[in-house]
């Protein structure tokens, strides 16, 4: 049966350890969040997710970016993130207004 394992934690070090442990179970994907104790910059996000993807390989990632996160990604942010970390096969986000859906529709075509 396909399954996904959540490895999220506010501490990046704990998340990394959880990703390594979860990958051994060969889930369909591992769900992660961005560090939650500060608002990471774009380069920090790419480096962090790249490190998690490398630790999870060959298991892909699902990025959960809840509305209460310190850094809420916008539709325009996702192309750079997905280019840097193509192992992200899904995202989990809160919803917003109609323009947000239109913008996210473009992201979903990637």
Instruction: Say if residue 110's pLDDT is above 80.
Output: no
Q: Taking residues 18-42, what's their average pLDDT?
A: 95
Give Cβ neighbours of residue 43 (< 8 Å, ≥ 6 apart).
Answer: none
Number of other residues whose CB lies within 10 A of the CB of residue 86: 11
Domain ranges of the chain: 4-108
Instruction: Say if residue 101's pLDDT is above 80.
Output: yes
What's the pLDDT score for residue 67?
Answer: 87
Q: Select from 13, 70, 7 the least CA-distant residue to 36.
A: 70
Q: CATH class for domain 4-108?
A: alpha beta
Instruction: Say if residue 65's pLDDT is above 80.
Output: yes
What's the pLDDT score for residue 38?
Answer: 87
Instruction: Say if residue 28's pLDDT is above 90.
Output: yes
């Amino acid at each position: 049966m396909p399954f996904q394992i959540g490895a999220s934690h506010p501490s990046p070090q704990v998340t990394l350890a959880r990703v390594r442990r979860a990958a051994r179970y060969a889930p369909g994907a591992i769900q992660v969040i961005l560090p939650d104790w500060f608002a990471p910059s774009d380069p920090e996000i790419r480096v962090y997710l790249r490190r998690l993807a490398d630790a999870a390989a060959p298991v892909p990632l699902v990025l959960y970016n809840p509305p209460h996160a310190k850094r809420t990604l916008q539709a325009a942010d996702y192309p750079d993130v997905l280019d840097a970390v193509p192992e992200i096969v899904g995202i989990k986000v809160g919803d917003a207004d109609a323009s947000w859906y239109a913008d996210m529709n473009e992201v979903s075509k990637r």
